[in-house]
Structures are given as structure tokens and as C-alpha cells.
Amino acid sequence: MSASEPATTLTTRFSSEDATPTAWSTAVGGLTEAEIFWLSTVRPDGRPHVTPLLAVWADDALHFCTGPDERKARNLAANARCVLTTSTAGGNDLHAGLDVIIEGEAVQVQDETTLRGLAELYAAKYGSDWHFDVRNGAFYGVGDRADVFRVEPVRAFGFGRGETYSQTRWSFDGQNG
């Protein structure tokens, strides 16, 4: 099953009576347009770590960058499993929007052709302040190295808010758990 066609289920327990599952294409639209994401990782001692960051959606995955010595990079070196969350229109409004949660493993991207394409996406989405040069398998901006990570969804969740509330689960690995 490809990331573009996940198994989709509505969790009726947490949805309005007349709710329907949110289409994966709607979630991808939100992931593409959202500007701020929250990355959750686990510290080597087991404590959680959450931090906001910028990300771009490309080739069925979210991509983000971080300095190799930052806490999130050190956490991912020890345990690549992570969660990325964001909200679409409505943000933190209880009665509007869609929250999207992606579970997966962060894999470092070092292919320079792929990195150049991602650098172009960053600049197009976030503006010239987020221009990156690509060399030595990483992004470079304002002189500092930033390693780039790809998180392909294994599982994702969508929480729709509005006249109808819905909880949708998308599974990319054939599992529903």
C-alpha cells in the first residue's frame, strides 16, 4: 500500500454521528499548506521532547531540517521514531480546522539532487529568508549546517472540527493500530 493510498477508517467513538472519514488528499493539502509543525521525539533517557519547526511535504513524506548538534537531531540519532503534528485553517479554534498527526521514522536525506529540490520547496513556501545552499549532503543557511530528515507516514490521524467533528485514521503499513 503506497503512502498516496492509505487504509482509511473513521473512529466513530470520537466523531459526530453524521461524520465521514476525511480524505487523505485533504490531509495532504493541509500538510502542504501548514507553516508550523510540532516535532515530538524521545530523549535518550526516555523523556519526551517537543519543538516547533518548519517542514515541507514532498514525495509522500514530510521533510524538516535541524542542526546536527540540536536536541532533536541527537534524539533522532538514538531513536528515529517520531511524531509530527500541525493544524490547518482554524488553528487552535475548537470549532474549525483539521489537526493532522503523522507517525513515522526520521531518515536523513543526503542525496544532493533531492536536497536541491527540497531547498527550492522551502524557499517557495517560506520565502527568501529560508534559502538553503546544498553541499556535503546537507543544507547550509547563514553559514550553519542543517541536516535534512524525511518522515514517511506509517500511521496518521486527522481530527476535523466544525459543524461535524471527526477522527480519521490512515494506515500506510496495512496495520490499523
Does residue 90 register a pLDDT over 70?
Answer: no
Task: Tell me the three cell numbers of residue 110.
Answer: 543526503
pLDDT per residue over 55-75, tens digit each? 999 999 999 999 999 999 999
Residue bearing cell 515541507: 56
Does 19 fall in a domain?
Answer: yes
In a domain, 2, yes or no: no
pLDDT for 2 equals 44
For residue 143, what is its C-alpha cell?
553559514
Q: What angle do CA 79, 83, 85 make, to 5 degrees?
A: 155
At 97, the pLDDT band (50, 70, 90 cuts) reads confident
Residue 176 domain flag = no
For residue 59, being part of any structural domain is answered with yes
pTM, rounded to two decimals: 0.92
Counted domains in the chain: 1
Q: Identify whether 16 is part of a domain.
A: yes
CATH number of domain containing 50: 2.30.110.10
- For residue 81, tell me if it sits in a domain: yes
Residue given cell 527540497 in the structure block: 118
The helix (run of H) or strand (run of E) holding residue 32 is: helix 24-33
Do the beta carbons of residue 172 and residue 155 sit within 8 Å?
yes
Question: In which domain, by residue range, is 112 found?
Answer: 7-171
Q: Are strands 97-109 and 7-10 parallel, antiparallel or unpaired?
A: unpaired
